[in-house]
Every structure is written in C-alpha cells, then in structure tokens.
Structure 1
Amino acid sequence: MKCAALLFLLGLLSFPVVATDLPSRIEIKYAVTTDIGEGEIDEVMEIKHVDGKAHYSINSEAQATGMYKLIEPNSIMRHSEGFITKHGLRPMRAYEKRGKKQPSVAEFDWNNHIITLNHQGHHAKEKLPDGTLDRLSLSYNYMFTELPKHHVDRYVTNGHNLRLTRYTISKETLNTPIGKMETMVLTRQEEKHSKLKRKIWLALNNHMLPVRIVSVEDNGREIDKIVTEVNISYKPDH
C-alpha cells in the first residue's frame, strides 16, 4: 500500500492554483517519535469550491501508541479552515485541542484586520497583519504560492499568541519510509539560547506537501513526525 501511494504521488505533477485543478482531498499519515514514546498523526486537507472561491479545511489528529499511550492517553486535535488565494492560504479560524481541555482558538477578521485569540478562558484581540497563518496552515501554504528563495517572514499564531517568525530556506534529500524525496527545508530562527525548535521539510516534486516536521515545543517535548503514506483524490464538487 505504501509503495502504491508513493508511485501515485510521484506520478502527479505540481498543480497550478486554479480551482478546477485542485485536489478535493489530501490525506497524509505520519509516524511520530518523541523523547518519551511514539505515536501517529492523520492529517486530512479538503478543498471545496463555493461561489467561485476555493475553501480549504485541514484536520490533524495525533494519538500516542504503545506504552506512550499510558502517559498521553488523549489525542491532540488541530484544525484550520479558510480560503485559498493566489498568495496562499488565508485562514478564517484555527484551533488546537488537547484531550478534554478547552481548545485554543484563533479567529481571523480580515475585513477589520483583527485576530481574536481565546486560550484557557482568556480573550485577546490584536491587529491582524497581512499574511498571518496558524501553524497548521503554514505547513500547507506553499502548495498554493511560490516559496521565497532565501527566507520566509510570517506572523504565525498557535491560538494563544501571535508572533513574527523567520524561517531560513535550504534544500535536502530526505529518506522517508515511502522513499527518497527532494525537499525544501524551512528552519525557524530562534532567539539565542532558546530551546524551541521547528523545521519543516516540503516535498519539491510532491506538491510541496509537508513530509517531515521536527520541533521542540514550549513544554520541552521533542517531536519528530515523518510521512508514511499519502493519498490524493480529485473529485468534482456536487
């Protein structure tokens, strides 16, 4: 199955951002390794066309497996939805939910240039800079717009804060469970002595899909997720 998925993916050419050429569904499965155990992630991007506009939604569910599940029994749900434009993704709402905790939610008001952040019962409104993304939409953004040559500067929110981030860009051949891939690598630039880390590998010949992400989170958790399966569907809207 994995080989078939890889051959199918490699057989596709990069698509232009034209509504009729976009896939209707992309599903990516990842194996996850952390400093205290293993898990798996299933991410699904769906694209629909309404009134001449391309709408997207991305759902991501992370679940621990094996002994790690005893420590982290609850899944982590992430979601992003919005529009596809010639400049990339334009989120309208994004959230992250861990187990039974209240979700962290970001709501994007592009007409008034305001972002509303809801986290642990606290609500804050901030100015919404052009091009702002949430963490999930950032990973898929360069499917739909050209990647800059040297670095990416973007405001990114995780639902409880908003900050300007810079990613430097490099190139790397990546070995994955479904084969070798040529990738562009985005490496987030952190402040000196910061323990935070984030790197994103985008598959050059596979729609710039995120095929690996390595991060060190605010809680110190080290996470490495790498693609194990990709399925892409093209179905007309009804």
Structure 2
Amino acid sequence: MPDQVKKLLWVLGLSLTAHLAVLLGPHFSLPVNLAPPPVLEAKLSPLPPPPARLATPKPPRAAKPKPSPAKDIPAPPVEAAPAPDVQPDAAPALAETPPPAVEPEPVVEPEPAAPAPPAMPQRVTTRFTLFKGLNGLRVGRAEQVWKLDGKRYTISSVAEASGLFSLFASGKHIQESRGKITLAGLQPSSYRVERGQGADKTDTAEFDWNAMTLTLASGGGKKTLKLPEGTQDLLSFMYQLAFAPPQSSFVKLQVTNGRKLDSYAYWVVEEALETPMGMLNTLHLGKHREEGEKDTEVWLAADYHYLPVKISQLDKDGDGLVLLANEIAITQ
C-alpha cells in the first residue's frame, strides 16, 4: 500500500475518533453567565414530499358572489350613439350586402301630336278692282276663288279688261293652281297660266314631289329642274302665307311662274291699308327691286285669314297692274 494512502486513512481515523468522543463523552459547561433564553414553542409538521417537477401554479378561483334578490329598477333612457366620423380615405366598413335595386321601367312619354294646319274656309271669293299704271286708272276687274275639298285645294284667278279698255285688251288672264294641304302648308302639284289666245301664250309647271323634280313647259319647249323643298307657284305662294304668316321681318321663297324658277327674298312690315272695305291691318311683303326687274308685292289682311287683299305687279318699265280687293265672300 503506498504511503500516501496510509496517511490518508490515518487522518480519517483520528477525525472519526474525535467526533465520537464529543458525541458520546460527558457534557461540559462553560463558565459563561448568560441570561436564560426565552422559551419558544414550535410545532413541527412533516414536510410534504417534493414534487417530481415544478409546475406553474394556477391562480386561485374567485369566489362566486351570491345573487342578491332582483329589484325592479327602471331602465335608463337609451341615448342614440353619435354617428361615426367618416374619413374620406378610410376603407368602408363591411356591411350586409343590400338586395339589388330594381331599376324602374323607363317612362315612355307620348310623342307630341303634330300641329294641325290653320283652319281655312271651304271657299273664299275675293273680287278686285284692276288699276293700271302709276296714275291708277281703273281698267278692269279680277276675281280669285279659293276652294278646299278635304286636303285638296284649288285656286283660280281670272282678270279681264272692262269698259273702254275692253276694246283694246281682249281676252282674259287666267291662272290656276292645284295641290294638297300638308302640315307645312300648301304643296302644289300643277300650275297653269294663260296670257291670251294661243298655245304659245300658255305656261305650265308640274311638281313631282316623289322624284323632287319640276317640269316647266312654255312656248312649245319643256325642261326639268331639281325641285327645292317648299317651292310655290305664282298663285299659291300668296295663299301659302295665309297658312304660315311671316314671323319675322324677312322671308325667303322659291317661286315658279311656269317659265322659270326663282328665289325671292321679301321684307315684311305691318301696314294699315285703306280699301273699299275700310281700313285693314295688313302684312306688306315686298323686295328690293333692281332697275329693269319685274316685281310683285302683296298685302295680307290679318282680319281675313291673312288672305291677299292687294297685289302689285310691275313690269320691267315700272308700269304694271294693281289689284285692290273690294269684296271678300267667305263660306265656312
């Protein structure tokens, strides 16, 4: 056995002997005068065995309070909650999807009824006194007759010399216009004028509104032109103004005399006209006449369906005829 091990065993044996002597030997008191210690009472209880592993302690349960007897307490008034402020950039809150809105059926408004043409008498006979020249010599008479049959119209005009002038001017000046009534007024279908005896003194105009053509025949010749909308003849244009009186100080018309088709621009003024029937309120239509140009002016009586009561027709020399109404007979 090595020496070191022997020394270690020797030391351990001495230490064990000393401890036994202290524990088993007589008691010794130390000469120390100490005050008697207070008597302490303690009760020892056995410790519980340690748990196998540490666990997180559960919080104690709160004791349930005993319910107190119910009392009738009036409910406090319910105040409406203020509406939340809506931020423009904030996302809208999710809400229940409302049912799809049922779009109302579009209301179809009835189309406005087309305006009816102005009421015109069934028959009007206007008798004129015929004057010639700037001096206003009475040289004859004339008569115009308006006839309305449903939607068809006929206008006839007959002028002839009377008295001594019948010895120098024989024959009659006859015009006739036929057509139908539309919402826009008169729509002529034919026009004829006889300026005396013989076929070479007869002019005609045929209106084809389907093909929009105008056929003129004069002195044995014939030609076809494009028919402008609203074209009138030399007789119908005066009665067309009865259906559509001018509403401004200017009116433009396309008019044919059986020989040619011209565009006429008329100025319009209100004028009091003295006639054998008395003073009449009229619309006076005329145009700026150039030298060497024919001219036709018309006065329409406001109190007589705007029918013509004076017609002035000047020739290239400034001479011509004036027809002034002296009687109007109306048959409704």
Match of 1:113 among 204, 212, 218: 212
TM (norm. structure 2) is: 0.61
Instruction: Give the equivalent residue in structure 1 for 2:147.
Output: 46
Matching of residue 147 in structure 1 with residue 246 in structure 2: yes
SS at match of 1:67: helix
**More strand by percentage:** 1
What code does the residue aligned with 1:126 have? Answer: L
Matching of residue 227 in structure 1 with residue 325 in structure 2: yes
Query: Structure 2 vs 1, CA of residues 219 and 124 (structure 1 numbering), >3 Å: closer, same or farther?
Result: farther
Instruction: Give the equivalent residue in structure 2 for 1:208.
Output: 306
- What is the deviation of 1:86? 2.0
Instruction: Give the equivalent residue in structure 2 for 1:178.
Output: 277
Distance 1:71 1:224 in 2: 18
% same residue: 30
Q: Deviations over 1:125-184 (max 9, x none)?
A: 000000100010011112212423121111100000001111110111000001110000
Kept after mapping to 2: 8 A contact 1:86/1:145:
no
- What is the deviation of 1:195? 4.1
Distance 1:202 1:68 in 2: 28
What code does the residue aligned with 2:129 have? Answer: A
Instruction: Give the equivalent residue in structure 2 for 1:188.
Output: 287
What code does the residue aligned with 1:162 have? Answer: L
Match of 2:125 among 27, 44, 51: 27
Structure 1 or 2, whichever has the larger Rg, is: 2
What code does the residue aligned with 1:47 have? Answer: L
Any stretches of 5+ residues in structure 1 without a counterpart? 1-15
Instruction: Give the equivalent residue in structure 1 for 2:234.
Output: 135
Root mean square deviation, CA, Å: 1.6
What code does the residue aligned with 1:56 have? Answer: Y
Distance 1:182 1:97 in 2: 32
Matches within 5 A, 1:75-114: 75-102=172-199, 103-114=202-213
Distance 1:93 1:38 in 2: 30
Kept after mapping to 2: 8 A contact 1:93/1:107:
yes
- What is the deviation of 1:221? 4.3
TM (norm. structure 1) is: 0.84
SS at match of 1:205: helix
Query: Structure 2 vs 1, CA of residues 128 and 219 (structure 1 numbering), >3 Å: closer, same or farther?
Result: farther
Kept after mapping to 1: 8 A contact 2:292/2:316:
no
Kept after mapping to 2: 8 A contact 1:30/1:40:
yes
- What is the deviation of 1:194? 3.2
Distance 2:233 2:223 in 1: 16
Moved over 3 A (4+): 218-221
Distance 2:306 2:127 in 1: 15
